[in-house]
Amino acid sequence: MARIVYSALIEKISGKIGGTVFQANAYGFTCKKTPNMVRPNTEYQLRQQAYLSQAVREWNNLTVAQRLDWDTWASTYPQYAKHNLSSQLSGFAVFTKIHVFRFMYGDTLLPNPVYISYPVDTITIGINLTAGVLKLVVSSVTGDEHWHLIISASRPFSDGQNFVGTKPRFLVGRTNVTDTPIVTTEWLALYGQLPSVGQRVALTIKPYGEDNGQSLSKISTIATVETTV
C-alpha cells in the first residue's frame, strides 16, 4: 500500500483501475493492489472483528467526560497513523486500538487513561521445544510489567521458504518480564500440531501500556525452534 499526495491539479482519485484501488480514509489517500481474499470470515478473523466491535461499543458507552479524557490523553501524548506519520490519532482511535489489544489479552475496560508515558523497553523472543513442551523465551531489559505484550506466531515455514506465508496469529498475552512461559496448549489450539526442532516460525510482539493509551511498534522476528539438552 502506498500513501498518495495529490497535486494542485488533482484533488482526489477514487475507485478501482485494473488491479489497483484508490481510496480515502481519515488519515489521507492510499492506493493498493486488490487483495486476494483467502478463506474470509474464519473463526480467527471473526474474533478479531468482535473485539473491534466491542471496543467501539465501549466508546459509545463512555460518558462525555470520559471521552474528553481520552481526547486529552491523545493530544498530550500524541501518536500517529501507521501509514501517515503526519496524521495524529484521535482519542477515539487510541481508545479503540488499545482496547482491541486489551480484550485480546484479557484485560477489562479502561474508562480513564493514566497520564504517564512509560519508558520504552527492549524485548526479544525465541521458542523452545523440549520433551514435548513448547515454551517461549522472552527477554526484557526493564522487566517493569508496565507493558502488556500481545504475542503472535505463524505456522512453521516449509523447507526452503524464506518469507512468512501465513500471517502470525495471536498466541498468548504476557507482561514484559524475562520468562519462559509454556504455550503447548495454546499452540495446539491454534495450529493443531507442535512445530519441530529446527523449524522456523515468525513471532511478533505488540506492546501496549498497562493503564494508558500508549503502544509501541510491533517487534517481529524469525525464530528457529531450539531444544534444551
Question: Which CATH number is 194's domain given?
Answer: 2.60.40.10
Residue 71 has pLDDT above 70, yes or no: yes
Instruction: Return the C-alpha cell found at 162.
Output: 524464506
Residue 18 has pLDDT above 90, yes or no: no
The average pLDDT across 136-163 equals: 90
Which domain does 25 fall in, by range?
A: 2-33
Q: State pLDDT tens for residues 49-70.
A: 999 999 999 999 999 999 999 9
128 and 82 co-located in one domain: no
How would you label 73-99 residue by residue, b for 16+ Cβ within 10 Å and e otherwise?
bbeebebebeebeebebebbbbbbbbb
List the single range of 34-48, 95-109, 204-218 with lowest mean pLDDT: 34-48
Q: Which comes out higher in pLDDT, residue 171 or 24?
A: 171
Per the prediction, the chain carries an average pLDDT of 88
Residue 164 has pLDDT above 80, yes or no: no
Domains held by the chain: number = 3
Highest mean pLDDT among 7-16, 150-159, 207-216: 207-216
142 and 176 co-located in one domain: yes
Q: State pLDDT tens for residues 87-116.
A: 899 999 999 999 999 999 999 999 999 999
93 and 28 co-located in one domain: no
Q: State pLDDT tens for residues 183-193.
A: 999 999 999 99
Query: What CA–CA distance (Å, rounded) separates 112 from 194?
Result: 40
96 and 6 co-located in one domain: no
Question: What pLDDT does residue 36 have?
Answer: 57
Q: Which comes out higher in pLDDT, residue 16 or 61?
A: 61
> 147 with 118: CB under 8 angstroms?
yes
Question: What pLDDT does residue 209 have?
Answer: 98
- Residue 15, sorted as left (phi over 0), alpha (psi -120 to 50) or beta, turns out to be left
Question: What pLDDT does residue 151 have?
Answer: 98
Residue 199 counted as domain residue: yes
Question: What pLDDT does residue 43 have?
Answer: 80
pTM, whole model, 2 decimals?
0.81
170 and 131 co-located in one domain: yes
> 214 with 196: CB under 8 angstroms?
no
Query: What CA–CA distance (Å, rounded) separates 147 from 135?
Result: 20
The average pLDDT across 33-52 equals: 75
Task: For residue 193, give Cα distances in angstroms to 45, 90, 128.
Answer: 20, 41, 15
Residue 32 has pLDDT above 70, yes or no: no
